Amino acid sequence: MSLGRLVIVGATGAVGREALGILEARGHPAAGIAAVASARSSGAKLGYAGGEIEVAALSERAFEGADVALFCADAETARRWAPVAVRAGAVVVDNSSAFRMDPDVPLVIPEVNGGLVAEAAGPRIIANPNCSTIILLAALNPLRAVFGVERIVVATYQAVSGAGAAAIDELHGQARAVLGGGEARPEVFREPCAFNVFSHDSAVDEETGLNVEEQKLIAETRKIWGDEQVEVTPTCVRVPVVRAHTEAITVTLARSATEEEVRRAIGGGAGLAVIDDRPGNRFPTPLKAAGGDEVLVGRIRRDPGRAAGPAGASRGWCLLVCGDQLRKGAALNAVQIADLAVGSRRARLAAAG
């Protein structure tokens, strides 16, 4: 589906470039894309469909005639410019944290609560959730739909791509330095990321001990599911992986299920692929997920801390999940939201005659 005239804000960043790659693969015409970024990137040229798209500086004129604006920039940029894009008549899909917890802004994973997009008639802002939340709920929503979910305990192992292009460059540079006998000198992160694992680099609340990433997982899960009672216990760490996040999940269902029932529910989940080869010890990995659109689910097993009921049924289940942070965790989810928004707009126009 063509998205009409599309503006990508932050087109030179990691998520912006990924969005361009997705649109190119879908055959979206270059003439229908305006790539904008900060003034220092103005005039840069980005390869697209055998040609180039020139980057323009972000300004009010950039949104004239836009149908959709994909914001792939920071929260400060989104707060300033997203309302400008809406006033120009665009549907804004924002990848930043700026509007996620605004009660008037839908927070959407298309496979989970995509129906909210159709309800959001006309130009407005729709928020893309945090990458870790998208991957977590994409995997768990099929279980919630069938059995209900009461509690989630999750440890995330997050790729450096979540911190942007500069973080990817830092990992590459540090790896070269260490392998050459030197030191890994951190600049983007507080800790060396090469050959290291460390607590997620977001700020830590001194009272609760939760970092910002963990707070997002809790708050966004409750908002997306519309369930303030669901318990979420996250621990978020960075690992020396370029792209694709990994999550180790233990979920408590509202009612017991057998392993066959759990596998059937996950296997039927939209946007999921099961990789669960016990004899071959083959399960999801970041490398398997990198560059793909599906969230990979494996290590499906009963929580060993819970006694099994009849036929091995249990309320507790463990999963290992991997998803590409730059695609389903960001750019792809945003494009999918744009698809729904444009489709619903066209349906309304058609119904109106």
Ordered DSSP codes for 43-60: T-EEEETTEEEEEEE--G
Q: Does residue 245 have an active-site annotation?
A: yes
Residue found by looking up tokens 């299920």 in the block: 257
Class of residue 352 by CB neighbours under 10 A (exposed 0-12, middle 13-18, buried 19+)? exposed
Q: Which of 72, 200, 236, 245 is catalytic?
A: 245
24-30 contacts, C-beta under 8 A, 24 or more apart: 24/48, 24/49, 26/335, 28/2, 28/3, 29/2
Q: What is the 3-state composition of the chain as percent helix, strand, coil, each rounded to the nearest 5?
A: 40, 25, 35
- Cβ distance 16 to 22 under 8 Å? no
What is the CA angle 191-193-194, rounded to 5? 130
Q: Does residue 131 have an active-site annotation?
A: yes
Q: Which of 131, 193, 236, 322 is catalytic?
A: 131
Whole-number Å distance between alpha carbons of 280 and 294 = 21
- Cβ distance 267 to 295 under 8 Å? no
User: Alpha helices, DSSP H only, in 120-211?
Assistant: 131-147, 165-179
- Cβ distance 134 to 293 under 8 Å? no
Residue found by looking up tokens 């990137």 in the block: 41
The residues annotated with a catalytic role in the active site are: 131, 245
